[in-house]
């Protein structure tokens, strides 16, 4: 490895750090190899239903928006994140909320290359009000309360449970097809957190470079004022 050193480090530290650096380099290569496999996926299934969602416009009025209208001109990839905030849930999922807090900050950058929408089962006013409270000014919030999008694309279980599924769709030659879904959700890691959207979520990756790590019991909360 390249010879670099930090002030006052011991030979023991440098030896262990170099070993870790080799592992980090191997991981980087593996991540790129997986990303290449993802990019080479053949066309997925065509979206057969013209899903109609509800959306609240900037003027406060509710309108209908079809899935093809979620694509901006010249941008042919669309990420729809399944926000766990169903009509029977008293509160929104804290984990989803933490993730969307981060995504809201990245959204203006991502909008240069792709489309993003956040879809929940609750009525649109409930979803939009929650988003406004969180300051999600950069996220397009939609409701699937009146269609079957969530269960069709694995963001809702057969019992009505909400699932934090991320799906990517592509528009090709006038057709919309499914490209990728975060099915790692259904292959849980031993810790109980499937880590299926960790690559989108800086929180956990930052914690992983600390000696405390992400821990096994700590999870984000909706509110820290009373903690």
Domain spans of the chain, in order of start:
52-184
The answer to whether the beta carbons of residues 117 and 80 sit under 8 Å apart is yes
* Separation CA 75–CA 169 (nearest Å): 11
E strand spans, 115-225: 115-120, 141-143, 166-172, 175-181
* Separation CA 63–CA 129 (nearest Å): 15
Q: Is residue 1 pLDDT above 60, yes or no?
A: no
CB neighbourhood size of 199 (10 A): 15
Averaged pLDDT of the chain: 94
pLDDT band at 227 (very low <50, low <70, confident <90, very high): low
Give this prediction's pTM: 0.93
Percent of the chain with pLDDT over 90: 87
Q: Is residue 83 pLDDT above 90, yes or no?
A: yes
pLDDT band at 126 (very low <50, low <70, confident <90, very high): very high
- What is the pLDDT averaged over residues 157-173? 96
Which of 124, 140, 152, 153 has the alpha carbon at shortest distance from 72? 140
CATH topology of domain 52-184: Glutaredoxin (3.40.30)
Residue 226 is predicted with a pLDDT of: 66
* Separation CA 153–CA 185 (nearest Å): 13
pLDDT band at 192 (very low <50, low <70, confident <90, very high): low
For 206, the token pair is 């930052």
Q: Is residue 62 pLDDT above 80, yes or no?
A: yes
Percent of the chain with pLDDT over 70: 97
Residue 166 is predicted with a pLDDT of: 98
Could you give phi then psi for residue 53, rounded to 5 degrees? Answer: -105, 165
Residue 209 is predicted with a pLDDT of: 95
Per-residue pLDDT reduced to its tens digit, 100-125: 999 999 999 999 999 999 999 999 99
């Amino acid at each position: 490895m390249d010879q670099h050193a930090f002030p006052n480090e011991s030979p023991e530290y440098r030896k262990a750090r170099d070993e870790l650096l080799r592992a980090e380099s191997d991981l980087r290569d593996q991540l790129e190899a997986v990303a290449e496999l993802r990019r080479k996926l053949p066309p997925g299934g065509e979206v057969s239903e013209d899903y109609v969602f509800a959306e609240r416009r900037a003027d406060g009025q509710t309108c209908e928006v079809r899935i093809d209208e979620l694509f901006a001109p010249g941008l042919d990839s669309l990420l729809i994140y399944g926000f766990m905030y169903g009509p029977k849930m008293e509160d929104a999922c804290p984990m989803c909320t933490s993730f969307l807090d981060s995504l809201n900050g990245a959204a203006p950058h991502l909008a240069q290359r792709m489309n993003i929408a956040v879809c929940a089962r609750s009525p649109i006013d409930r979803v939009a009000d929650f988003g406004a409270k969180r300051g999600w000014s950069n996220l397009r919030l939609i409701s699937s309360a009146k269609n079957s999008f969530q269960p069709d694309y694995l963001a809702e279980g057969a019992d009505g449970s909400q699932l934090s599924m991320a799906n990517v769709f592509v528009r090709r030659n006038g057709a919309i097809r499914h490209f990728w879904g975060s099915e790692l959700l259904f292959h849980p890691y031993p810790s109980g957190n499937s880590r299926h959207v960790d690559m989108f979520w800086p929180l956990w990756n930052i914690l992983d470079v600390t000696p405390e790590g992400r821990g096994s019991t700590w999870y984000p909360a909706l509110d820290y004022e009373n903690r």
